[in-house]
Structure 1
Amino acid sequence: MAILVDQPRWPAHGTVWAHLVSDRSLEELHRFARANGLPPRSFDLDHYDVPAERLESLVAAGAELVPGRELVARLRASGLRVRASDRLQEKHRRLTADLALRWAALAARTPAGRMGPDRDRRDVREVRAAAPASTEWVDAGAELLRRWDEPHRHYHDLTHLDDVLQHLDVLRADGEAVPVTAELAAWFHDAVYDLVPGADEQRSAELARERLSDLGAGPATVAEVERLVMLTASHAPARGDAAGAALCDADLAILASSPRRYARYSAAVRAEYAGVPDEDFRRGRSAVLGGLLAHEHIFATASGRARWETPARENLRRELALLDRPHD
């Protein structure tokens, strides 16, 4: 085994952090991380960020404690090192590739149905076998990824899509009901994004209906995805709407992120509305935040409330206070 960890030296989020790497392969690194309960989101292209309190247990599990310079030198010699100048481009490439794989995997889980008489009559089976995704399915995913990667998106982008999908995974792991329709709706919920609330959701729902129908999804599946996409306009699922609750909670989970990441999120939202005068933006944003805080619960699932309710309210109050400050 060639798993290396250096001394924790980098402060963030109330602790100090070390780097965990392999000087052999990323596969080996990921296996070690999974075996020791490191969250996937702590992986950063060529290393895992690990808090100081995990150092002892990782060394006991077989990681070799080495000086930082040695860790970097051995990582560079392995060919796995990602240079600082390449990190943004490499992150984008890997994120796009990971999302494409995730979309392809949805093909086998999407209930199929017969084409309507006005549709192209391809051979669509009643039950889709667990086979590789069709060319048409892959092409639809590529279109969605292009839409999510449009240059005017600063928050509602590929990272947001990935976040929503990963938050659905968290809710599922907690025992919440997360049907395939919720995942499909996550892919489509901001696929059309022209900064026109209500109209964007409507056009995204229409896109979902067109693409999924053409791909052979069953009518009930198509209708449910349409409904779920429209629900993200209000984030107000009805009692008993498990799929809607999961999707809305996953979409809003960014509100409960660390203060540093929340600051990046709010700045990205402002960047999307760069053409709106400051006073108008503060007024509109304050109304949105105040409306969320006025709800008895921001999150609809039991897991979402347990995980995200308290930090989300703290972040919202903090941002609202900043918006309410006098500005010259």
Structure 2
Amino acid sequence: MQEKLRTDLERSWAACAPVGGPLATEVLDELLTLWSAPARHYHNVEHLHECLAELAAVAGDLSTRGHRSIALAIWFHDAIYDAARHDNEAASADLAAARLGQLGESPDVIATVGRLILDTAHRAEPATPEGRLMVDIDLSILGKPADRFDRYDAAIRAEYAHVPWQDYRTGRLKVLRAFLARPAIYGATCFKAAYEDAARANLDRAISRLESARN
């Protein structure tokens, strides 16, 4: 991990962790180890850092508590990630509850963080404004410049390298078409204005690429 990236992440963690000291450092080290696992081609520290940067850009529109809960949820939302399993969000929420409990976080904040993490499973419309913002942050990659999106798209395939091509192609097309079919990909006004058009163009291009690919 680059020194500047680690420094930025350490600052972010210090700003939202319930307490400082050795235990908070242990949790930070555990999280960074998880996020840095070799099999993580997209769901890695770069994704973590980008999500935290998206949150920082809209911090002025949030209450202190709302900002901190979302920051903690970002730190934990893909802490557990294995492309071969289907309960990553639930497992990450469980890890957040355990570690934040050890750090003395309040039960209300722990529950909020858990709900925000589960929102990133993208199976249902989030029930809260904070949840909608969390989902928009997680999906911000879809609206990035074409070269960054294409690098993300290739990294997802690398994470699913264990899946045969035709099966991957079918599943990936289903996911991308579902996002494109939404009336709006982003719920928060700032994200819709910044990323909606680019996300639809990126999704169109990725779908066309998959539809025409043979292997």
Do these two structures clear the TM 0.5 threshold for a shared fold by scoring above it? Answer: yes
Q: What residue number does 1:101 align with?
A: 11
What is the CA-CA distance between 1:235 and the residue it aligns to?
Answer: 6.1
* Secondary structure of the corresponding residue to residue 187 of structure 1: helix
Q: What residue number does 2:76 align with?
A: 188
Report if the CA contact (8 A) 2:90-2:118 is conserved: yes
Higher relative contact order (CA closer than 8 Å, sequence separation 6+): 2
What is the CA-CA distance between 1:157 and the residue it aligns to?
Answer: 0.3
Residues 31-65 of structure 1 show CA distances to partners (whole Å, capped at 9, x for unaligned) of xxxxxxxxxxxxxxxxxxxxxxxxxxxxxxxxxxx
Which of 101, 104, 107 in structure 2 is aligned with 1:216?
A: 104
After the TM superposition, which segments of 4 or more aligned residues of structure 1 sit over 4 Å from their partners? none
Amino acid at match of 1:102: S
Which of 35, 44, 54 in structure 2 is aligned with 1:167?
A: 54
What is the CA-CA distance between 1:161 and the residue it aligns to?
Answer: 0.1
Q: What residue number does 2:161 align with?
A: 274
Which of 38, 43, 49 in structure 2 is aligned with 1:156?
A: 43
Amino acid at match of 1:229: I
In 2, Cα distance between the equivalents of 1:243 and 1:235? 16
What is the CA-CA distance between 1:176 and the residue it aligns to?
Answer: 5.4
In 1, Cα distance between the equivalents of 2:124 and 2:50? 20
Q: What residue number does 1:204 align with?
A: 92
CA radius of gyration, larger in: 1
* 1:316 pairs with 2:182: no
Report if the CA contact (8 A) 1:299-1:309 is conserved: yes
Report if the CA contact (8 A) 2:36-2:44 is conserved: yes
Q: What residue number does 1:141 align with?
A: 28
What is the CA-CA distance between 1:219 and the residue it aligns to?
Answer: 0.5
- Percent identity between matched residues is 38
1:4-153 pair list within 5 angstroms: 92-107=2-17, 110=18, 133-153=20-40
In 2, Cα distance between the equivalents of 1:285 and 1:262? 15
Report if the CA contact (8 A) 1:201-1:232 is conserved: yes
The aligned length equals 213
Residues 171-209 of structure 1 show CA distances to partners (whole Å, capped at 9, x for unaligned) of 334x35652111100000000011145411111010000
What is the CA-CA distance between 1:300 and the residue it aligns to?
Answer: 1.2
In 2, Cα distance between the equivalents of 1:310 and 1:316? 10
**TM-score, length-scaled by structure 2:** 0.93
Residues 128-165 of structure 1 show CA distances to partners (whole Å, capped at 9, x for unaligned) of 7xxxx221112111110110000110000000000011
Change (3 A) 1:292 1:176: farther
- Hey, which of these two has a bigger chunk of strand by percent? 1
Over the aligned positions, Cα root-mean-square deviation in angstroms equals: 1.7
* 1:250 pairs with 2:137: yes
In 1, Cα distance between the equivalents of 2:84 and 2:16? 29
